[in-house]
Chain A
Amino acid sequence: MTAETMEAPLVAAPTATPPHPLREFWGYFSANRGAVAGLFVIVGVVLVALLADVLAPHSPYLTDTKIALKPPFWQEGGSITYPLGTDAIGRDILSRLIYGSRLSLLIGVIVISISIVVGTVLGLVAGFARGVTEIFIMRLMDIVLTMPSLLLAIVVVAVLGPGLVNSMLAVALVILPHYVRLARAAVITETSKDYVTAARVSGAGNLRLMFKEVLPNCTAPLIVQASLGISTAILDAAALGFLGLGAQPPSPEWGTMLADAREFVLRAWWVVTFPGLAILITVLAFNLLGDGLRDALDPKLKR
């Protein structure tokens, strides 16, 4: 903002051509170092999950009370056989974390898939049907949004019973409203545009419109919301696991591991630290990715 005297002749502006949209997207995305880091971490976690059988040094369920609460290898009494130590009943923490990544990713992907499919359908229906149907759906979503998410999830689990599958359903319900709103908003903006009117005039039915015209146009925000939603799903499912309402022991789900570890917080820091760190890093990676995608896809912020 401050003026300065001219020292050197100003360079002529470059004569370049505008880049291809996909390249442009990658340009914006890769300029965001956080997003790239997030992507790398996610790829890493996916690889770990896929190769869990190869990577894990031990079975995640194998107990051995003789080696209970062994510290990580760099601490006195630790050994490289159990790099991150063992838990209260002698299970290898690293192996459990590695297998746990499968569960967390699975939770994220399944929850998001349910939410996206159900949410988009509800949103499309609300957007196209309007009237009473729309009011009913949207009011219902308002209620879901009003209730504290974990309380609602707990209530669902109370009805369905604790467990991994039920906790996933609970979380899917809790994050549903975002997708409903998104899809409905997309329908409403798209249907007011000319080409949809044109398609209507040429006799395309609502169903065809939904899938051929509207859906492709809301994929970008859906992708962003999905990435951010996976992080919420992993976090909420872990919270349910921690409360003893999600995946049940001896499942190596990270939240459940923390629930088991709680009572050893004073004696064995490693049983508490590593599962939480795994959750934090994974969730952070998805949030970084989501932020990066949003910035790269949102034309408003381009400049």
Chain B
Amino acid sequence: MLRFILTRVSLVIPTFIGITLLAFFLIRLVPGDPIETMAGERGIDAARHEQLKKDFGLDKPLIIQYGYYIERVLHGDLGKSIVTRESVLSEFQTLFPATVELAVCAILFALFLGIPAGILAAVRRNSIFDHGVMGISLTGYSMPIFWWGLILILVVSVQLGWTPVSGRIDVLYYIEPVTGFLLIDSFFSEDEGAFMSALGHLILPTIVLGTQPLATIARMTRSAMLEVLGEDYIRTAKAKGLSRFRVIGLHALRNALIPVVTVIGLQVGVLFTGAILTETIFSWPGIGKWLIEAIFRRDYPVLQGGLLLVGVIVMSVNLIVDLTYGLINPRIRHNR
């Protein structure tokens, strides 16, 4: 098991280096003068230019520059936003909980609907229910979620008036950020209205962001379940006279969940892609919206830092899922 962990951890090192290289070169590849790009100052005079060049270490060879960059990154210095002049890391830290809150809700939504739907579809293979689930999930999988969000706003918020159109919470409420997760903070604020408002603001974004993972998880659960249901040990379980519920819910599900966990891990990247779009549509103050705005403001240090942080986070979550996979699969847990 220890060897398993060590191999997996060592496998992400090249990926980490790759991500840092990507972030490092990003800012040098953007059209325009890199010094002006980094400093966010335009049309500066030659002396200032030289000064900045020294400050950023741009007079050194690339490899040394990369070394400096890594050193700064490891010290938590990701540069400053050229728009707000704030440290990129601290901006990230304030916005990150909003994205995590949304993403966690979305993945829970996808799991709680997707796994049961996938199991039932597999058990009632070729039934109307199965075809229905598969049809809906393929539609969800094909859904342009930026449009899906707009349609939901149009119908649910505008026509029916059930949910707010955008934001995280009504402007009436001010909640002191403790955890940064508004749902939790407002819950402990003892202001019921604030909590309900936060909850209401979460519903549509959760559905929109959860749609693609839901479709993927339902499809994956179904196919994993179908495969497992054909295995010899399921026949054995039935030959023991176990109830259908026990055969499916225990013997089959336990095995079917192993590949599903991997898929859930892969959803982290998908969730982030979705968060960029969802946050844009719902004006959700998270990382996705931050990065898109950075592009339009040509705030390259933010883009560079965000790219690095998001890359490292996705990579780490993938690693954790990989290790979990080893934990829930006895074949890996005991061998190696």
Residues of A at under 8 Å CB distance from B? 34, 139-140, 142-143, 145-151, 154-155, 157-159, 161, 231, 235, 238-239, 242-245, 255, 258, 262, 265-266, 269, 272-273, 275-277, 279-280, 283-284, 287-288, 291
Contacts and interface: CB of A to CB of B under 8 A. Distances in A.
B135 A34 contact: yes
12 contacts: A139-B14, A145-B269, A146-B15, A147-B19, A151-B276, A155-B22, A158-B30, A158-B300, A159-B30, A265-B154, A276-B147, A280-B139
Interface of B: 14-15, 18-19, 22, 26, 29-31, 135, 138-139, 141-144, 146-148, 150-151, 153-154, 158, 269-273, 276-277, 280-281, 291-292, 295-296, 300, 303, 307, 310-311, 314-315, 318
A280 to B, nearest CB: 6
A243 B281 CA distance: 10
Contact of A154 (B22, B29, B276): B276
Contact of A258 (B135, B150, B270, B272): B150
Contacts of B26: 155, 158-159
Contact of B146 (A154, A242, A269): A242
Interface centre among A155, A238, A284 (most CB of B within 10 A): A155
Given A148-B272, A159-B29, A154 B292 contact: yes
Given A239-B277, A242-B146, A288 B138 contact: yes
Interface centre among A154, A272, A279 (most CB of B within 10 A): A154
Q: Is the interface of A mostly helix, strand, loop or mixed?
A: helix
A272 B269 contact: no
Contact of A149 (B14, B30, B269, B292): B269
Closest 8 CB pairs of A and B: A276-B147, A148-B272, A143-B18, A150-B273, A284-B142, A283-B142, A148-B269, A148-B273
Given A235-B142, A291-B138, A151 B295 contact: no
Contact of A287 (B31, B142, B300): B142
B277 A265 contact: no
A98 B122 CA distance: 39
Contact of A245 (B148, B273, B295): B295
A146 B311 contact: yes
A150 B276 contact: yes
A155 B154 CA distance: 31
Nearest to A281: B142
Contacts of B318: 146
Nearest to A149: B273
A125 to B, nearest CB: 19
A245 B29 CA distance: 17
A279 B147 contact: yes
A143 B30 contact: no
Contacts of A269: 154
Given A158-B303, A272-B150, A148 B314 contact: yes
Given A239-B277, A266-B158, A255 B144 contact: yes
